Structure 1
Amino acid sequence: MKEIKASISLICIEKSKKSISGGISLLAILVVLAVPALPVQAQMDPEVLTPVPALQDGRLEVTTAAGSGIALLHVTRDWSVVQPGIQRAVIVIHGWPRRDLRSGEFAATRAGANAQTAIVITPQFLIQADVTRYQLPPSTLRWGPNDWAIGRDAIAPARISSFEVLDAILQRLADRQRFPDLREVVIAGHSAGGRFAQHYAAVEHGEAQLLKNGIHIRYVVANPSAYLYLNDERPVPPTATCTTVNRWEYGLGSNIPRYVQAPLNPQAVRERYFAKDIIYLLGTADNDPHHHQLDRSCAAEAQGPTRFQRGLAYVERMKASGALHQSLLEVPGVGHHSSQMFASTCGVSALFGDGSCGDTPQTTSR
């Protein structure tokens, strides 16, 4: 396991509540020109490439063998001091535009007593446009728009993977001096955040100390555009010209991030992934094959036409593979909306409860 040092400085900053006006700026145009090979959805959605309207108020120093950098995050409690009584930590990863930063806290308002013993942590993975817009220090970590969700290295100030930021958060939570009563960590994400959570679950380096301390780990993967497949099978046969169907971020065949480390052992990845507690949280109305943020690359189309169908197909393959600790929860009538997903009966149960919805109409057992 790689050694990661994490220190926290909860520095208050002014949060801008105004949206960036004036359409796509010259900066955004330059970003588009400078970042090749983005997925179709990122090229079509200006929000992915333009600066965020607000920044998270916390700072996390991440130090690895490659160097150091500062990541942004929001923490609902002061974790610079001992937090007795906190039994659950919920880490929520935002979507591609980096703007849905309060969906975990909104879900907590629906969780009742369970939220009273929980801490919610929401990191924010910036791009260069954000750093430039807010004149952030050079030490601020920033990634390519299509890189942070799949574990690639920051473009500055050091080659630090977005997954190493999560490793550092988990390292802090594993400290029994700070969290003496912690029992469970939930890593949840919606859309690109769901893709982040699912990919991290497959190749993570951050669980070991938590597990050693008897802390359970659950992943909640909500409505991602595509999934990391662990073999060559796909629900839809890819076209003969589709050469990316088994490349990372869709498979384990090639283009693997530095974080994963070589040589990759696909069988070991499969065995570890199948043993994890993972909930696939799918909105039944996330079924638009032309959604402006849907990955419509040939590799993604080989997984199905919509997010909902891609999720159903992936869960079926997990069942067939013997992944006994993984389950599907469906949220009827909800589309591509993180707050509605996580604040639903099933979403609240996945984040703050036992991960089952009982006999409520929002549960589909597969």
Structure 2
Amino acid sequence: MKKWLLVLLFTCANLCTNTWAAEHGVKELSPGRLLLKSGEMAVGLGPAPAKIERVLIIVHGRLRNAQTYLQSGEHAVELAGQNATTLVIAPQFLNETDVALHPVADTVLRWQGNEWMAGGESTAPFRLSSYEALDEIIARLGNRQQFPDVKQIVVAGHSGGAQVVQRYALLGHDQPALEAAGVRVRYVIANPSSYAYLDERRPVAFNHAGCPGFNRWKYGLTDLPAYAEGQTAAQLQEKYLKRDTVYLLGQQDIDPNHPALDKSCEAKAQGPYRLARGRFYFNYLKRLKPQGLHQQLIEVPGVGHDGDGMFTSPEGQKALFP
């Protein structure tokens, strides 16, 4: 087993996915610990194949139920017949409520509330953007001494996790060492409630005076987090449109009253429900780059707001394992 994996001690466990977990903390912590520059990251880790050619980083949503997403990722890998070459990692962005509820070392990173979703900085043990944490994980996987065979890294998320992946794909720092090593990075964004737009245009008419935050981060590029310092809107757009990104949309994710749907005015300006918002956003991107967009939209028939159903569908398999 690779040296990096030896620091990760883990067991399989299901995490609570109900509303109680969102409000009062997760039922159980992910048992793995990955040492980053500013602290330890809680992670779930799948079995490590002898030859790791692809790594699937699967990001949880607001419930922070990383083990549930780990199992979903492992299920997708198994269905695709990729067990022999694919490692699944599920980082867990703990918050202060989780840490107050469970005994956890002072060295473990934690964030305030849901600030990790938009690239906010950890509250302890040091300041670290959630996006910097993803940067470090991805950079480590490109280390040829520890992972000599990795050819592709897939960063995927569903619902709240898809919101994280979309924003991270937009703001994420370039990693020239990965490019030099020939490691490709793909982002799979499944059924998010909203997207970060690159200018002030929106597909649905709305009252600007009654929705002054429509273009503020995380819905637009105003008031970006500290992680994005030094990057202009033009630079972000150019970089984002070049990234290998797949928008995976369930054709039955069409409930405008879904309990987990973002119903703020900022989100409603993007469309009435998730399927419409995803279609609108992809068409918007095609208008920004009419000469050819290096991104895909794949729709999943018969599936609604169901992460496991999305990733284990034939369309989801195509997105995760190109």
Q: Give the TM-score normalised by the residue count of structure 1.
A: 0.81
CA contact (8 A) 1:89 1:121 kept: yes
- The structure 2 residue matched to 1:152, chosen from 117, 120, 139, is 120
Q: Distance in 1 between matches of 2:302 and 2:232?
A: 40
CA contact (8 A) 1:85 1:117 kept: yes
What letter matches 2:63 in structure 1?
P
Change (3 A) 1:16 1:118: closer
**Equivalent runs, 1:129-140 vs 2, <5 Å:** 129-140=97-108
Q: Distance in 2 between matches of 1:192 and 1:290?
A: 16
- What residue is the counterpart of 2:236 in the other structure? 269
Q: Distance in 1 between matches of 2:175 and 2:204?
A: 33
- What residue is the counterpart of 1:320 in the other structure? 287
What letter matches 2:171 in structure 1?
V
What letter matches 1:47 in structure 2?
A
User: What's the offset of the Cα at 1:238?
Assistant: 2.7
Change (3 A) 1:18 1:212: closer
- What residue is the counterpart of 2:111 in the other structure? 143
Q: How many residues align?
A: 313
User: What's the offset of the Cα at 1:234?
Assistant: 0.4
- What residue is the counterpart of 1:248 in the other structure? 217
What letter matches 1:9 in structure 2?
V
What letter matches 1:88 in structure 2?
R
User: What's the offset of the Cα at 1:166?
Assistant: 0.7
- What residue is the counterpart of 1:120 in the other structure? 88
What letter matches 1:60 in structure 2?
L
Unaligned runs of 5+ in 2: none
- What residue is the counterpart of 1:89 in the other structure? 55
- The structure 1 residue matched to 2:275, chosen from 308, 317, 321, is 308
- What residue is the counterpart of 2:77 in the other structure? 108
Of 222-231 and 317-326, deviating more is 317-326
What letter matches 2:73 in structure 1?
G
User: What's the offset of the Cα at 1:231?
Assistant: 1.0
What letter matches 2:286 in structure 1?
K
CA contact (8 A) 1:86 1:119 kept: yes
CA contact (8 A) 2:35 2:41 kept: yes
- RCO comparison, higher one (Cα < 8 Å, 6+): 1
- What residue is the counterpart of 1:49 in the other structure? 23
Unaligned runs of 5+ in 1: 1-5, 24-44, 355-366
- What residue is the counterpart of 2:45 in the other structure? 75
User: What's the offset of the Cα at 1:76?
Assistant: 2.0
Q: Distance in 2 between matches of 1:238 and 1:299?
A: 9
Secondary structure of the corresponding residue to residue 92 of structure 1: strand
CA contact (8 A) 1:57 1:74 kept: yes
- The structure 1 residue matched to 2:252, chosen from 285, 289, 296, is 285
User: What's the offset of the Cα at 1:8?
Assistant: 6.8
**Equivalent runs, 1:99-248 vs 2, <5 Å:** 99=65, 100-101=68-69, 102-112=71-81, 114-205=82-173, 207-239=175-207, 240-248=209-217
Change (3 A) 1:173 1:19: closer
1:332 aligns with 2:296: no
What do residues 289-308 of structure 1 show as CA deviations (whole Å, max 9, x unaligned)?
11111111111111011011
Q: Name the % identity.
A: 41
CA contact (8 A) 2:51 2:84 kept: no
Of 267-276 and 131-140, deviating more is 131-140
What do residues 85-123 of structure 1 show as CA deviations (whole Å, max 9, x unaligned)?
3211111101111123321111112111x3321111111
How much is the aligned-residue C-alpha RMSD, in angstroms?
A: 2.1
What do residues 140-159 of structure 1 show as CA deviations (whole Å, max 9, x unaligned)?
21112321111111122221
What do residues 195-214 of structure 1 show as CA deviations (whole Å, max 9, x unaligned)?
11111111112532211211
User: What's the offset of the Cα at 1:185?
Assistant: 0.8
CA contact (8 A) 1:287 1:335 kept: yes
Q: Distance in 2 between matches of 1:136 and 1:181?
A: 34
Q: Distance in 1 between matches of 2:149 and 2:78?
A: 22
CA contact (8 A) 2:170 2:240 kept: yes
What letter matches 2:58 in structure 1?
V
Q: Distance in 2 between matches of 1:16 and 1:75?
A: 11
Secondary structure of the corresponding residue to residue 116 of structure 1: coil
What letter matches 1:304 in structure 2?
G
Change (3 A) 1:144 1:217: same
User: What's the offset of the Cα at 1:336?
Assistant: 1.3
